[in-house]
Chains A and B, each alone.
Chain A
């Protein structure tokens, strides 16, 4: 949950800046406005001349009309008075006045005139482009706390948000399980993704509330609402403080079973949060964020520097490095550019991408191996669907070990190698996989989408994406049983592990290792400490018998309420 000042990013990534400017810069702001109007006027004039020459005067007249709209005396006066008398920023003034004209035109019965709304929006966009031209980078250079409102944020844009100033964000499109949401969780930024259209109702600078629990964005809250949320924020804080007291205590169930709670991280700096939340290690280090922040492919040195920082900070505790797990969506690449990658989730991603780009894969693996000399590093291959893929990846690793040995570079010869169980095919073959790895980790985000055939970022089908679907529970059950038969440790990462609703169920299914975002760790620990394995097993048995996700959900909610009533349900 967050309360703060809105900062609006439009469809093309323009920032609509704050609403007001200080009195002493009004004159310079007006000059800036005039310069922008002149520049746009020159552009339109050039278009008019070019079109007149090519197609004739009548067509050029369309642009002549645009030019007249731009220099419209009433418009000029309205813009000026907003800036001069109300101290609005030129951007805000333009956006407000033009939107109003566009709306009036749209409301007219006469179709031909209503279509002029397009012209108005076109002029608005051009003016904003000139006004904001130099300022597009400002999102990464914030100086005051804001709540970012955008049509869409890519995972890399999200990764670059500064958690110090970005109190939260809301996007119009995107799905709950999407990577933007995962990155937001990692940064501990309250976020609501894919709420639908709302940007036409905000201009930036006003107060907004993000209610993450209800998935609601509240624009222009009244005094009473605001007070209510301030109070709730206070309650959240005091509950968080209580959880902090758990930090030193083990994640032990009432009947004495030790649960290993590790942390999921994306950035080296999160290691501090892992330590302070009392994590038993890092169960999932998502390395691809090194690739997202940079313009070029990171060098071995850059990988090594990041990895060694994490490994050294964790000391004896394990750090599981998941190798590159990029897909077209995370790369921010347009999948339409490549005919073959129209279906990125079934395309060249993750381990497939690594095995196809061996130099890139080797660079990363060498850095992980070198870091293994400094602490307890482990390597984990994502999206393994077949045994040959695993064997090929292990072979690349073995070759690199030989190289390093020859070069006399230190590394851990017995580094543990594991795979993520994310593809149903790997679950079916779990007994065979378990013989060839040192550990397995269930990645529920992908496992759910592949099992249920749902693109979690497609809001048309997002509601079919259910972690509590009995088919998913059976897949987890099969994996855990298979790993147990081979005496291979099994853990679970992915968002399912961090939702307190599922904790009892997962323990009941036999999991003793959960990897969760550092922020969620104390809460999950509290549940572990409030229940017995016997109770959990009973819940799991009942859930496995059910035939739909809704029944499972209501069972889990009920049990959570019974055993850990103080947990705030989301």
Chain B
């Protein structure tokens, strides 16, 4: 199995930041892939499948995060996760504004 590595920078766009629901959606999405996906900051690496660890980042709206995936489907995984960030984690408060558009 090829251990490809992918990196991508994402921005938290939803109003309330990376709170429980977004962290939940991230973790759920990450579990769909074989790749190990982490948020890399200056002083730690946080596994996205751990909702508690993601929450401890305390990322508010506008925060830039460096994602890194290692595994056969690394590129696809980051693409899917980046979409979640771009859409502002649909299903919650943001979803309603999307519907209005």
Closest partner residue, chain A, to B53 (CB atom): A74
- When the two chains form their complex, are residues A73 and B49 in contact, meaning their CB atoms are under 8 A apart? yes
Q: How far is the CB of A104 from chain B (nearest CB, A)?
A: 5
Q: Confirm or deny: B70 has a beta carbon within 8 angstroms of a beta carbon on chain A.
A: no
Contacts of A112 in B (CB 8 A): 16-17, 19
Label chain A's interface by main secondary structure: helix
Known pairs A68-B28, A113-B17; A61 contacts B51 (CB<8 A): no
Q: Tell which of B17, B52, B53, B91 touches A61, judged by Cβ atoms closer than 8 Å.
A: B91
Number of residues from A at the complex interface, CB < 8 A: 23
- When the two chains form their complex, are residues A72 and B20 in contact, meaning their CB atoms are under 8 A apart? no
Q: Tell which of A57, A69, A74 touches B47, judged by Cβ atoms closer than 8 Å.
A: A74
- When the two chains form their complex, are residues A119 and B49 in contact, meaning their CB atoms are under 8 A apart? no
- When the two chains form their complex, are residues A105 and B56 in contact, meaning their CB atoms are under 8 A apart? yes
Contacts of B28 in A (CB 8 A): 68
Q: Tell which of A61, A101, A110, A113 touches B24, judged by Cβ atoms closer than 8 Å.
A: A61
- When the two chains form their complex, are residues A109 and B58 in contact, meaning their CB atoms are under 8 A apart? yes
Most buried by B among A109, A110, A119: A110
- Our count of residue pairs bridging A and B at CB distance below 8 angstroms stands at 64
Cα distance A109–B16 when bound, in Å?
12
Cα distance A65–B51 when bound, in Å?
8
- When the two chains form their complex, are residues B21 and A65 in contact, meaning their CB atoms are under 8 A apart? yes
Closest partner residue, chain B, to A61 (CB atom): B21
Q: C-beta contact mask, B64-97 vs A, less than 8 Å → 1, else 0?
A: 0000000000000000000000000001100000
Cα distance A108–B57 when bound, in Å?
8
- When the two chains form their complex, are residues A119 and B91 in contact, meaning their CB atoms are under 8 A apart? no
- When the two chains form their complex, are residues A101 and B56 in contact, meaning their CB atoms are under 8 A apart? yes
Cα distance A116–B17 when bound, in Å?
13
- When the two chains form their complex, are residues B50 and A73 in contact, meaning their CB atoms are under 8 A apart? yes
Closest partner residue, chain A, to B23 (CB atom): A65
Q: Could you tell me which B residues sit within 8 Å of A by CB distance?
A: 16-21, 23-24, 27-28, 47, 49-53, 55-56, 58-60, 91-92
A-B contact pairs, 15 of them (CB 8 A): A61-B24, A62-B20, A62-B21, A68-B28, A72-B53, A73-B49, A74-B52, A101-B56, A105-B55, A109-B60, A110-B16, A110-B58, A113-B19, A113-B20, A119-B20
Query: Which 5 pairs show the lowest CB-CB distances between chains A and B?
Result: A108-B58, A65-B24, A74-B50, A112-B19, A65-B20
Q: Could you tell me which A residues sit within 8 Å of B by CB distance?
A: 57-58, 61-62, 64-65, 68-69, 72-75, 101, 104-105, 108-110, 112-113, 116, 119-120
